[in-house]
Amino acid sequence: MSSENPPVTGDSGPELAALVAGGTVDVLDFPKPGIVFKDLMPFFGDGPAFRRVVDGVVAHYGPDSFDVVAGVEARGFVLAAAIAYATGLGVVPVRKAGKLPRPAFSASYALEYGEATLEVHEGAFTPGQRVLVVDDVLATGGTAAATIDLVEQAGGVVAGFTVLMELGFLDGRERLGGHKVHALLTV
C-alpha cells in the first residue's frame, strides 16, 4: 500500500493527462473490426496514478459542488466509487438493462460499437440533488447522453460530467446539450 498522496495543486492538467495516457493500451479491432479500443485497465491497476487522478477530479470541482456521484456500468463504477469515497458522498450505479431489482427509468442508445439500454432506480436521487456523472471514456456520447437523461428523469441535476478520456474525433460532447465535459485526456 502506498501512503504517498501529494496534494493536487495549480495547473495539474498535463500531469493528470500523462497519467491517463501512460496507463492506456490501444487494442486494435476490439470488440469489432475497425475499432481502436482504449484499454484503461493498466491505469486502474496503477495505485498511485489512480489515486492522483481521483484527487485531481475532486480538486477540479472543489468543495460542495455535488451531492452524489453517478457511475456508468461497468468501467465508470470504478472511478465513481473512488470519487464517492474520497468525498464522503454516496454513489448511484447506472446499470445496463435488467440488473436493477426495483422500478427503474430506462434509456436506450447507440455507442461506438453497438447498442445498449441503461437504467437507474426511480427515487435514486432526491429532487434537485446535484449529481456528478462519471465514466471512463466519452466516445460518440450515446452513453453519456442517456445517463444525463436518466439522472434528470430520476429528479437529479447534473452538476458535472467527468471522463478519464475523450475521443475528440467522435464529437461526443456535441450530444450533451451544453453540459460541461471535464475530460482528463482528449485524444
Ligand X SMILES: Nc1ncnc2[nH]cnc12
Q: Which residues bind ligand PRP (CB under 6 A)?
A: 72-76, 111-112, 116, 135-144, 172
Q: Which residue reads 471522463 in cell numbers? A: 163
Cβ-contact 44, 23 below 8 angstroms? yes
Report what 72 binds from ligand X, ligand PRP, none; CB cut-off 5-8 Å by kind.
ligand PRP
- Minimum distance from residue 20 beta carbon to ligand PRP (Å): 14
- Minimum distance from residue 141 beta carbon to ligand PRP (Å): 5
- Minimum distance from residue 81 beta carbon to ligand PRP (Å): 14
* Orientation of helix 47-61 relative to helix 75-87, angle to 10°: 60
Peptide bond into 59 cis (omega under 30): no
Distance CA(41)–CA(35), nearest Å, equals 17
Task: Enumerate binding residues for ligand X (CB under 6 A).
Answer: 35-38, 111-112, 137, 139
Per-position b or e across 68-105, b if 16+ CB within 10 A of its CB: bbbbbbebbbbbbbbbbeebeeebbbbbeeeebeeebb
Peptide bond into 31 cis (omega under 30): yes
Whether 112 is a known active-site residue: answer: yes
Report what 86 binds from ligand X, ligand PRP, none; CB cut-off 5-8 Å by kind.
none
**Helix and strand numbers, DSSP H then E, in the chain:** 5, 9
Report what 157 binds from ligand X, ligand PRP, none; CB cut-off 5-8 Å by kind.
none
Residue tagged active-site, from 52, 73, 112, 173: 112
Residue tagged active-site, from 52, 73, 75, 95: 75
- Minimum distance from residue 60 beta carbon to ligand X (Å): 22
Report what 38 binds from ligand X, ligand PRP, none; CB cut-off 5-8 Å by kind.
ligand X
Whether 115 is a known active-site residue: answer: no
